[in-house]
Amino acid sequence: MRIATFNILHGRSPADDRVDVDRFATAVRGLNADVLGLQEVDRGQPRSLGADLTQVAADAMGAAEYRFAAALAGTPGLTWRAATGREQPGMAAYGIALLSRYPVLHWQVLKLPAPKVPVPAWRGRLRPQLVRDDEARVAVLATVQTPLGDVLIATTHLSFLPGWNAVQLTRVARRVAARVGPAIVLGDLNMGPGLARRLTRLEPLATQLTFPAHAPERQIDHILARGLPRTGRGEAVRLALSDHLALVVDLPDPDR
């Protein structure tokens, strides 16, 4: 069973600053994941040629089950706002997606808390800058029928703001902890492995540097789990798009 997470930068390649839908499909196909979490996913955005990137990914990997969850609705710089879930069909959106080749028994979308006051952020600066309006964040959870049994899988893309990403991950972790049985939390958590492990109380299935893609120096993309074998093989995969590497884990087949 191959599990993967990939922040796709809405399908854009920093090499040529273009979104090529066929290139994106080829990248997803090459991952050959059975379960795939995607972050920074566009639907109907002019910058990504109006494509539904979740559908493109589903077709490329042969996913029978998939769910896109909008964090933001509208077009960047114009009508960009937190999604409510009540947007008109076909409205441009941006968010995350979870895709599976295996049957899904139950889906859930979880809205995550956003800061209500300005928050200082350094982001490579000597002095902090006050961030007054961080983008909305969501998580997608699915109970997936896998060869290793029913597994609760959650994917998310958390805030870059220290502290707030911890609050958001704690919310996801509590929802996961409420269910008995194997579980996986994966995605771009915007934090290092030590903090991610402490907040979720889950074990990392892969420890690899994932960002920035051209010269990886830290791991902010994670696949953490409980109740699953830790003998799988994990790797960070460089693809022809995004400023992140994809993170992939192969879990052993229980029949072998």
* pLDDT at res. 171: 97
Residues 6+ apart with CB under 8 A from 9: 40, 241, 242, 243, 244
Higher pLDDT residue, 29 or 123? 29
Q: What pLDDT score was predicted for residue 245?
A: 98
- Mean per-residue pLDDT for 219-244? 92
Q: Is the peptide bond before 212 cis (omega within 30 degrees of 0)?
A: yes
C-beta of residue 123 within 8 angstroms of C-beta of residue 84: no
User: What pLDDT, on the 0 to 100 scale, is given for residue 128?
Assistant: 67
The mean per-residue pLDDT over the stretch 212-225 comes to 97
pLDDT grade for 117, boundaries at 50, 70 and 90: low
**88 versus 112: which is more confidently predicted?**
112
In sequence order, which residues have a C-beta less than 8 Å from that of residue 256 and are 6 or more positions away?
Answer: none
Q: Do 36 and 73 touch, CB atoms closer than 8 A? A: no
In the structure encoding, which two tokens stand for residue 27, read together?
Answer: 């990248």
**Per-residue confidence at 135, pLDDT binned at 50, 70, 90?**
confident
pLDDT tens digits, one per residue of 2-44: 999 999 999 999 999 999 999 999 999 999 999 999 999 999 9
Residue 121: pLDDT band with limits 50, 70, 90: low
Lowest model confidence (mean pLDDT) among 18-22, 87-91, 147-151: 87-91
172 compared with 123, residue with greater pLDDT: 172
Average pLDDT value for residue range 224-243: 90
Rounded (to 5) percent helix, strand, coil in the chain: 20, 40, 45
- Cα(225)–Cα(230) distance, rounded to whole angstroms? 9
Inform me whether the pLDDT recorded for 84 exceeds 90.
no
Question: Which pLDDT does position 118 carry in this prediction?
Answer: 61
pTM above 0.75, yes or no: yes
Q: What is the pLDDT of residue 114?
A: 82
